[in-house]
């Protein structure tokens, strides 16, 4: 984008090179075997991007949503699964700690998370509470110098590898009585990864269910005061929705790039596919839609960095980009015909991976509710 800073342009080049060298060559293998590219993840720490939004005092890069989304786009082009694990670590765990935790908690947990020595996750969704996250039942009860936590968390990215979990719990009877804790998984008795989840897409991103059975967590691990976590949750959801849309942008661009290459090589009826008007129409629309995605997303990221973005705008981005990227991936498969449907090309993986982006961080339907509710309320107040 024309308004990227020199630092953001340098980040784009570095992460693109890293993606092509460390992620792309292994993407198909990890998808097929449902394995985690932990070697590349550790190297992300060396690259200095695991704490991209965190304060430099704790080893972070001190950048914003625009920079974080640049990384998502470049990584998402080649391996969306690894990118999702990166997002869960850097946006859902590290960014939350960097934004909401005390100085003592930041000093204790951020350095190892940012270096890559530790892997982070976030526990919000539950087996019976997905879109209605605030209705969660996982409960923390104060007991002396500790809290006793009981309950389960579902669909947790990085679950099997997490050293640190940023956990949302219920601490009161009112709907918004939610409290957050930082869980040191290796030191918490009663904590376990009770189930490994196998998925249609994002298969190189480990996902599991977390169980807490009378898990004892020190009060010093509580983030902020009791009952004040809903505002933290909603604020972090905004940047999560922007950055997960960055993965969809990367997938869409990769589909366009693959199609442009293919239509210049593949011949039918004595000429390349690029000579057929129906193919030209599809390619032109895919490229135009991807460019629309890019401008919409980065403009809203820029507003977020300036402190001006609204919850409505973040929801609009989250609704439209993943939905459009799925359409683009399906068009790319159609252009490739039987090859697109086979695993000989990465397009079927890209389509499977992107479908998660229409579900995670708020489903399309929830985004529609948020957008409509906010617009109607604003109109009524005029």
Rounded-to-integer distance, Cα 201 and Cα 34, Å: 10
Counting other chains too, the contacts that 110-113 makes at CB distance below 8 Å and 24 or more residues apart are 110/51, 110/54, 110/58, 110/59, 110/60, 111/58, 111/59, 112/163, 113/50, 113/51, 113/89, 113/163, 113/164
Rounded-to-integer distance, Cα 314 and Cα 244, Å: 11
φ/ψ of residue 274, rounded to 5: -65, -10
Rounded-to-integer distance, Cα 357 and Cα 73, Å: 13
Rounded-to-integer distance, Cα 276 and Cα 274, Å: 6
Rounded-to-integer distance, Cα 192 and Cα 155, Å: 14
Q: H/E element holding 121?
A: strand 120-123
Q: Of 293, 292, 286, 301, nearest to 322 (Cα)?
A: 293
Rounded-to-integer distance, Cα 161 and Cα 39, Å: 13
List the catalytic residue out of 22, 74, 209, 240: 240
Task: Show Cβ contacts of residue 68 under 8 Å, excluding neighbours closer than 6 positions.
Answer: 52, 53, 90, 91, 239, 242, 243, 246
Asked whether the beta carbons of 49 and 91 are under 8 A apart, the reply is no
**Length of the chain in terms of residues written:** 382
**R_g over Cα of the chain:** 21
Rounded-to-integer distance, Cα 96 and Cα 94, Å: 5
Q: Is 213 a catalytic residue?
A: no
Active site residues: 240
């Amino acid at each position: 984008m024309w308004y990227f800073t020199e630092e953001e342009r340098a980040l784009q080049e570095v992460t693109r090179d890293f993606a092509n060298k460390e992620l792309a060559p292994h993407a198909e293998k990890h998808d097929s075997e449902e394995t985690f590219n932990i070697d590349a993840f550790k190297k992300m720490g060396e690259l200095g991007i695991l704490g991209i939004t965190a304060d430099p005092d704790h080893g972070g890069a001190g950048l914003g949503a625009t920079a974080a989304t640049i990384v998502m786009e470049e990584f998402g082009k080649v391996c969306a699964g690894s990118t999702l694990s990166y997002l869960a670590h850097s946006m859902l765990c590290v960014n939350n700690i960097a934004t909401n935790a005390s100085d003592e908690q930041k000093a204790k947990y951020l350095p190892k998370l940012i270096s890559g020595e530790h892997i982070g996750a976030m526990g919000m969704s539950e087996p019976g509470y997905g879109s209605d996250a605030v209705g969660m039942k996982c409960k923390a009860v104060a007991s002396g110098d500790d809290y006793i936590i009981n309950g389960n968390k579902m669909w947790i990215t990085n679950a099997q590898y997490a050293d640190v979990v940023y956990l949302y719990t219920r601490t009161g009877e009112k709907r918004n009585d939610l409290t957050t804790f930082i869980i040191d998984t290796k030191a918490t008795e009663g904590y376990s990864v009770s189930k490994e989840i196998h998925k249609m897409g994002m298969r190189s991103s480990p996902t599991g269910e977390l169980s807490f059975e009378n898990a004892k967590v020190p009060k010093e691990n509580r983030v902020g005061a009791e009952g004040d976590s809903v505002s933290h949750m909603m604020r972090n959801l905004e940047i999560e929705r922007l950055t997960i849309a960055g993965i969809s942008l990367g997938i869409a661009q990769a589909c366009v790039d693959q199609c442009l290459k293919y239509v210049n090589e593949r011949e039918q009826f004595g000429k390349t596919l690029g000579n057929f008007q129906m193919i030209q129409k599809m390619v032109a629309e895919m490229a135009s839609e991807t460019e629309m995605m890019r401008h919409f997303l980065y403009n809203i990221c820029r507003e977020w960095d300036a402190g001006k973005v609204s919850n409505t705008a973040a929801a609009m981005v989250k609704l439209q980009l993943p939905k459009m990227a799925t359409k683009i991936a399906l068009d790319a498969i159609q252009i490739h015909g039987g090859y697109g449907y086979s695993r000989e090309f990465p397009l079927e993986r890209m389509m499977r991976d992107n479908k998660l982006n229409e579900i995670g961080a708020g489903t399309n339907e929830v985004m529609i509710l948020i957008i409509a509710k906010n617009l109607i309320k604003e109109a009524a107040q005029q």
